């Protein structure tokens, strides 16, 4: 039997990506933004596709099917019906959306054929297939999960019509149970508050989640009373009188602003207690919706496993609450839960559901740790560093980890670049910035001097999988940094009566535990369990650090500055290293000390390169 290659793509909305399967195995997957350096790039993922083909050493002509993660005609129908329902209110939005649809999206089939023909040596296009948006989300999580059978919940802004859907995954099949349709969407409710608190929709939702612990849930009653009618089983309806997204160009309207006492916060202006309280309130409502949906799904079906995907599944605080509630025996969350993961889901759906191939369950999961992007050999790294005029030292495996553990224990910040790049929004030790979690200044140094972003943003602990329960209230694996759990009582530092009186952001500088730089103000942490099977190099570095310091945990954040996609190449890594106050850079087995690098004149103009997120 010849090998069968299936290519899944997501494009034209946000977070374009490509994913290549070979006989059902994931060979490669990457987001377009990593190659173009434009965050959330939505254009046709030509660079991501070329990378996938190079990884497999094939041409476009060897692909059996290209699968798109969405049904554009159904989405177009939803847009037209929505505009009609809200007419004449939606006229401005209608006139801004229609030219794009009529030019690109409505005739997507011919657009895709043209794009693939231009990549093909024989100027032909592979056979095209289309999945539904939520079907791609469901497939992306269930078919790679370690479960033979599972409930699947998909929650996002909106696909064609569905905003929330439930499925039963069994073997190689997904059976839809029910869905909640547009305009009623928990993802869009969260985005409305993202917009209102002055952050960017589709990228600032993380900030709202990070800001929530600084606030009090003062507005939850208002949200329940005016914005959302939430039923006992978790189903809900939004009161569209307060929202503008169905018909206008903004998320919220004057009625919403009046309800919450004023216009939206201006982007980049001072954050006040009000924004923190709004963040906490919408976060609590979202958690309650997800908990109720999870409980009723378990009750209805009796199935003991849960898979999550869709952009809302990146809400790791809500995921942690579901896990802690013990509703399910095990939970699996797709690491590329947003639209990028739709590329993977589209390909998997075609392989299992359309072509009916049998499914073999991997007890770990089939994502390979999500390390599915490009990697670089030591030879090619050396070549790149020489071209850049960089000064470096080479350390063989073993010696490298010893050196880095020492450097970390001295309070240095390291840009850590090794192995394959991660697929999804989280850096997981392939393209990471790492530091010592015991160092109290680490959070503000990393935020303000390295990432150039808001000081309140929390950092994640990367912890040896077998030692996670020694520090955190969690027994489950969390390899993709998508579950938040509390720091154990024995590691906490209780606040004094004086500190208790502090408000909001003032609490930031009060150390909360023996690992202050990864402990959020509410004693929680967003955990990444590191496994020797999927990332042996990162695992042995943490092991070495543990040996030296008796601490099996590192601070791990993504290797980029604010507004920039995560670095992809050694050149990206060196550029980011030289522009920031990182102390060391490690690219495979080469270690670069900032002090040894050629002195470059400080030029801050690069900060204009990236749009603020």
What CATH superfamily classification does 5-143+336-365 receive?
Answer: ATPase, nucleotide binding domain (3.30.420.40)
Q: Does residue 524 register a pLDDT over 80?
A: yes
pLDDT for residue 445 is more than 90 = no
- Taking residues 529-554, what's their average pLDDT? 98
Mean pLDDT rounded to a whole number for the chain = 93
Per-residue pLDDT, 272: 93
Please state, in angstroms and rounded to a whole number, the distance separating the CA atoms of residues 458 and 110: 45
Q: What is the pLDDT of residues 381-414, one digit of tens each?
A: 999 999 999 999 999 999 999 999 999 999 999 9
Q: CB–CB of 456/214 below 8 Å?
A: yes
Same fold, 5-143+336-365 and 180-333: yes
pTM above 0.75, yes or no: yes
Strand partners, 10: 17
Phi, psi (degrees; rounded to nearest 5) at 51: -60, -45
Give the pair of three-digit tokens for residue 574.
């060196």
Using DSSP bridges, classify how beta strands 590-593 and 393-394 pair: parallel, antiparallel or unpaired: antiparallel
Task: Give the domain ranges of the chain.
Answer: 5-143+336-365, 180-333, 378-608
For residues 592 and 492, what is the distance between their CA atoms, to the nearest angstrom?
35
Q: Tell me which CATH homologous superfamily contains domain 378-608.
A: Carbamoyltransferase, C-terminal domain (3.90.870.20)
pLDDT tops 90 at residue 611: no
User: So what's the pLDDT on residue 500?
Assistant: 73
The CA-atom distances, in angstroms, between 285 and each of 190, 197, 232 are 9, 16, 13
- Bridge partners of 553? 463
pLDDT at 104: 65
The answer on pLDDT for 496 being more than 90 is no
Q: Structure tokens of 304?
A: 């003991």
Q: Could you give the angle at which helices 316-324 and 273-301 cross, rounded to 10 degrees?
A: 50
Alpha-carbon Rg for the chain in angstroms = 24
Name the CA dihedral angle for 512, 460, 204, 266, rounded to a multiple of 10 degrees: 30
The phi, psi pair for 124, rounded to 5°, reads: -115, 165
Distances in Å between the alpha carbon of 415 and those of 418, 430, 432, 467? 10, 10, 6, 24
How confident is the model at residue 606, as a pLDDT? 60
* 259/498: higher pLDDT: 259
Asked if 297 and 151 touch (Cβ cutoff 8 Å), the reply is yes
Return the CATH number of the domain spanning residue range 180-333: 3.30.420.40
pLDDT at 79 over 80: no
CA distance 597 to 395: 18
């Amino acid at each position: 039997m010849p090998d069968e290659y299936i290519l899944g793509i997501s494009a034209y909305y946000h977070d374009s990506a490509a994913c290549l399967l070979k006989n059902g195995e994931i060979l490669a997957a990457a987001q377009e933004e990593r190659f173009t350096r434009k965050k959330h790039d939505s254009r046709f993922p030509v660079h991501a596709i070329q990378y996938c083909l190079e990884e497999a050493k094939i041409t476009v002509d060897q692909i059996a099917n290209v699968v798109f993660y969405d049904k554009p005609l159904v989405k177009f129908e939803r847009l037209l019906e929505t505009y009609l329902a809200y007419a004449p209110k939606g006229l401005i939005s209608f006139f801004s959306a229609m030219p794009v649809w009529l030019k690109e999206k409505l005739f997507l089939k011919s657009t895709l054929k043209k794009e693939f023909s231009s990549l093909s040596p024989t100027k032909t296009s592979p056979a095209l297939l289309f999945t539904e948006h939520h079907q791609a989300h469901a497939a992306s999580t269930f078919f790679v999960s370690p479960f033979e059978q599972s409930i699947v919940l998909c929650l996002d802004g909106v696909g064609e019509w569905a905003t929330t859907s439930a499925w039963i995954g069994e073997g190689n099949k997904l059976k839809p149970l029910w869905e909640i349709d547009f305009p009623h969407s928990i993802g869009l409710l969260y985005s409305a508050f993202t917009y209102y608190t002055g952050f960017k929709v589709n990228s600032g939702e993380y900030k709202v989640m990070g800001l929530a612990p600084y606030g009090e849930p003062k507005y939850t009653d208002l949200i329940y009373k005016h914005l959302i009618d939430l039923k006992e089983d978790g189903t809900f309806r939004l009161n569209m009188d307060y929202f503008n997204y169905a018909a206008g160009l903004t998320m919220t309207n004057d009625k919403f602003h009046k309800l919450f006492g004023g216009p939206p916060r201006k982007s980049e202006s001072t954050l006040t207690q009000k924004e923190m309280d709004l963040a906490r309130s919408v976060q609590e409502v979202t958690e309650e919706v997800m908990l109720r949906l999870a409980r009723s799904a378990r009750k209805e079906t009796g199935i003991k496993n849960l898979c999550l995907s869709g952009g809302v599944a990146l809400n790791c605080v809500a995921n942690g609450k579901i896990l802690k509630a013990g509703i399910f025996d095990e939970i699996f969350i797709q690491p590329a839960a947003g639209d990028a993961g739709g590329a993977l889901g589209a390909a998997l759906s075609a392989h299992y559901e359309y072509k009916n191939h049998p499914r073999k369950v991997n007890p770990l999961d089939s994502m390979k740790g999500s390390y599915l992007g490009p990697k670089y050999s030591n030879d090619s790294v050396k070549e790149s560093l020489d071209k850049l005029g960089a000064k470096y030292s080479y350390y063989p495996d073993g010696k490298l980890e010893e050196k880095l553990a020492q450097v970390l224990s001295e309070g240095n910040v390291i840009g850590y670049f090794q192995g394959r790049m991660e697929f999804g929004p989280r850096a997981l030790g392939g393209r990471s910035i790492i530091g010592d979690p015991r160092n109290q200044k680490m959070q503000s140094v990393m935020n303000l001097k390295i990432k150039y972003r808001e000081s309140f943003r929390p950092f994640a602990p990367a912890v040896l999988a077998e030692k996670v329960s020694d520090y955190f209230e969690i027994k489950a694996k969390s390899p993709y940094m998508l579950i938040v759990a509390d720091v154990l009582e024995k590691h906490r530092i209780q606040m004094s009566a004086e500190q208790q009186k502090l408000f909001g952001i003032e609490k930031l500088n009060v150390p909360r535990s023996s690992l202050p730089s990864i402990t959020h103000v509410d004693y929680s942490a967003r955990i990444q369990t590191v496994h020797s099977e999927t990332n042996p190099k990162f695992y042995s570095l943490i092991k070495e650090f543990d040996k030296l310091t008796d601490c099996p945990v590192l601070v791990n954040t993504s290797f980029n500055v604010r507004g920039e996609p995560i670095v992809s190449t050694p050149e990206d890594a060196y550029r980011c290293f030289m522009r920031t106050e990182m102390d060391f850079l490690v690219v495979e087995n080469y270690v670069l000390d900032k002090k040894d690098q050629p002195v470059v004149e400080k030029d801050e103009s690069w900060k204009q390169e990236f749009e603020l997120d």
